[in-house]
Amino acid sequence: MATTTAEVMPDYATVYAYVRSLYRHDRFEGRNGAWCPDYSHVVARSVCEDLERRGFSAVGQHESATGHAIYFDRTLREIPSPYAPSFPVTPPEGR
């Protein structure tokens, strides 16, 4: 997914707060000290790197508070999965 130069990177505190709102507590701040002293900040920095490099990032379904994978762009708006097929997927007959 290409990004435009008009998409300004949000600051770290904004990204952290946004990611925190998407994650289950036990998969984000709940891991601070258990996995490493600042696990949630490691995750937030990784998201910042994704946004900078690829223009989007994601929270996986197991980490997500909704139970569904969530993709978002530099504006911190949810976007469709960049990995979803661009054609309609229909199951085979009989299923």
**pTM value?**
0.80
Kindly report the backbone phi and psi dihedral angles of residue 87, in degrees, each rounded to the nearest multiple of 5, phi listed first.
Answer: -125, 155
Instruction: Calculate the dihedral angle through the C-alpha atoms of 80, 4, 76, 35, rounding to the nearest 10 degrees.
Output: 90
* 3-class state of residue 19 by DSSP: helix
* 3-class state of residue 62 by DSSP: coil
For 17-65, what is each residue's pLDDT tens digit?
999 999 999 999 999 999 899 999 999 999 999 999 999 999 999 999 9
Which CB contacts under 8 angstroms, 24+ apart, belong to 80-89?
82/1, 82/56
Residue type at position 22:
L
Where are the chain's structural domains? 12-79
Q: Look at 90 and 51; give whichever has higher pLDDT.
A: 51
Quote the pLDDT of residue 52. Answer: 96
Quote the pLDDT of residue 9. Answer: 92
Quote the pLDDT of residue 35. Answer: 87
Quote the pLDDT of residue 6. Answer: 58
